[in-house]
Amino acid sequence: MLKLLSGFALGLMLCACSAQAVDASRAPLAGDLVPLNSGPIAEASAYQQHCGICHLDAGQGVPGAFPPLDQRLAGWSGSDAGQAYLVSVLANGLYGAVEVNGQQYAGAMPGLAAQLSNIEMAELLNYVVTEFADGAAVFTESSVAASLDAVGAGPSLPLRPQ
Ligand code: HEC
């Protein structure tokens, strides 16, 4: 009986491990997430799923809670330092006091590196920059990888362009 039980426990562990392995290695997104790379409608729904729950559908944000994603993004995406900041915010999150359009925010955005691949971060950033900021779609899978190499997994706040 004991042997049977421990066999059962081992089976459970193996099962949990393989589920985790599948999860960690998923290259394209699994069914729980909206796949990107399929045109503007898919990008809009990926934005709604990953960002819009806080920053709202038109990027307008919620005063005092979630900052708007607005014209500042165009300027930031036009420089290496600004791109690195934006990539870091998506991958590592953002914690601490920031001022946006005269309004103070002292919130916390969770890092999304575990949920988003580099190409997905590139597409989401291109979406917000072109939709909400009249900027250009400058992010690519390799530019995101280069930004991540440059910034590592440290806090984003010190990287924020003035
Ligand atoms: C759980 C809520 C939440 C989600 C989801 C979220 N954000 Fe944020 N985001 C925040 C908060 C809160 C801040 C401000 C953090 C602070 O006050 O330090 C922020 C800050 C930012 C900033 C920096 C703004 C600035 O002025 O420096 C950018 C850019 C940004 N988010 C983009 C995104 C994008 C793109 C996504 C989706 C990939 C996303 N966020 C998902 C809550 C969220």
For each of the domains in the chain, give its residue range(s) and CATH number, in order of start. 38-159 (1.10.760.10)
Of 54, 85, 132, best ligand 1 pocket probe by most atoms within 8 Å of the beta carbon: 54
Residue nearest to atom 39 of ligand 1 (CA): 51
62 Cβ closer than 6 Å to some ligand 1 atom: no
| Residue 11 confidence (pLDDT) above 80 | no
Over its C-alpha atoms, the chain yields an Rg (Å, rounded) of 19
Q: How many C-alpha atoms does 51 have within 13 Å on its Cβ side?
A: 27
Return the pLDDT at 3: 52
pLDDT band at 38 (very low <50, low <70, confident <90, very high): low
Instruction: Answer yes or no: is the C-beta of 95 below 6 A from any ligand 1 atom.
Output: yes
128 Cα to the center of ligand 1, angstroms = 11
pLDDT band at 162 (very low <50, low <70, confident <90, very high): confident
| Average pLDDT value for residue range 108-116 | 97
CA dist., res. 12 & res. 10, Å (int): 5
* pLDDT mean across residues, the chain: 84
